[in-house]
Amino acid sequence: MGIFETLRAAADPEKAAPMRAYMRGQFPFLGIPAPERRRISRGFLKALDRESIDWAFVSECWRQSEREFQYLAKDYLAERAAVLTPLAMERLQELIVTKPWWDTVDGLDVIAGAIALRNPDVNDVFLAWSVDDDFWLRRAAIGHQRARRAKTDTRLLERILMNNFGQTEFFINKAIGWALREYGKTNPDWVRDFLERHKSKMASLSLREASKYI
């Protein structure tokens, strides 16, 4: 039995309904919580080649209706993030804008950010995303450094955040605050200074989120 069939066999309709409701009805679910999904898929993912990416498998996951399959692909890419090269950015962009919602965009952004950390030329891609008409790409640009801590490129972060001031989109203003909140755990002084300089241009949601831990 393949991994798709295995996951479908583990479906729990009673859990699927609240999972779908939590995502505002955007996608159908099998009803498999994350810990169980990872337990089921662990052996399958471990057996796959760790030195290359099977993009056909990723695409097939994205074609499936139920959201757990997109999570499976995201887990797969996260485990193999170290082998991704700048050539993967176009494919990651396609995933971000296909069936987009925060549950896939948040995670794919950090995977893409790991590529840029090893290949700084990719920063230009994030700058382009930060002004794209698709606000999910903007959100990915805003959040791509969340996992970097002391390795955060603050000049790049500031440019991307400034490119998104004045937005009315909830997911953008939330992302701005989240990015600052996360970096504030590493460098609260920088975040305080950023807020002092830019607070007049920032949404109240962004300010509230950014100020939580500083």
Domains and CATH numbers, the chain: 1-83 (1.20.1660.10), 89-214 (1.25.10.90)
H-run or E-run covering 105 = helix 102-118
Query: Residue 210: its pLDDT value, please?
Result: 98
Number of CB atoms found within 10 A of residue 197's CB: 10
Evaluate whether 179 touches 149 at the Cβ level (below 8 Å): no
* Residue 107 backbone class (left: φ over 0; alpha: ψ -120 to 50; beta: rest): left
CA nearest neighbour of 141 among 154, 121, 156? 156
Distance, CA of 214 to CA of 207 (rounded, Å) = 11
Residue 211, burial from CB neighbour count under 10 angstroms (0-12, 13-18, 19+): middle
Q: Cα separations (Å) of 138 from 65, 96, 109?
A: 25, 10, 10
Matching residue, tokens 């755990």: 185
Helix axes 55-63, 89-97, angle to 10 degrees: 10
pLDDT at 1: 60
Each residue's pLDDT expressed in tens, for the chain with a length of 214 residues: 699 999 999 999 999 999 999 999 999 999 999 999 999 999 999 999 989 999 999 999 999 999 999 999 999 999 999 999 999 999 999 999 999 999 999 999 999 999 999 999 999 999 999 999 999 999 999 999 999 999 999 999 999 999 999 999 999 999 999 999 999 999 999 999 999 999 999 999 999 999 998 9
Tell me the C-alpha distance between 58 and 200, whole Å.
42
pLDDT at 213: 87
